[in-house]
Amino acid sequence: MSSAENSIRIARQTDHTVITLQGVLDQELAGNLVPLVSKVSPPIIFDLRQVSYVTAAGSRVILGYYQSFGVKPVLRYANQNIIDLLDLSGTLNYVSLAEDESAHTAT
C-alpha cells in the first residue's frame, strides 16, 4: 500500500477524541501521528477500521500514548492481524479493545 493511501483524521468530541487512520500504520504514518497525538487529551479512540497492518513503529506510537498520559487508548475495529502484532509486542497490555457495536454507538 503506498503512502498516498495513508491518512489521519481527528474528530474531537465532547468527552473524547477519535483518530481515524487509513492505510498501513508504519514508520511514515507513525511519524506524522506522533506530533498530533501529543496534543490530544485523553481519552482517545484510535479507529483502525481502514488500517490493514501495524508495524513496530505504529505499535510504539500507541504505546507512547499510554506512557505519556497513563491512560489506555481505545482501539476500535482492530483486525486480528493488528491484535496479534500488538499482543506479540506487548502493546496489547496497554490498550483497551472496543467492542465494535458499543464503540460505534458511544457518544
Question: Which residue ranges of the chain lie beneath pLDDT 70?
Answer: 1-4, 100-107
Fold category of 3-101 in CATH:
Transcription Regulator spoIIAA (3.30.750)
pLDDT at 100: 57
pLDDT at 4: 54
Rounded to two decimals, the pTM is: 0.85
pLDDT at 5: 86
Q: Are strands 96-97 and 17-25 parallel, antiparallel or unpaired?
A: unpaired
Domain ranges of the chain: 3-101
**Which among 84, 91, 80 is positioned nearest to 57, based on CA atoms?**
91
Concatenated DSSP letters of 3-18 = GGG-EEEEEE-SS-EE
CA triple 95-42-20, angle to 5 deg: 70
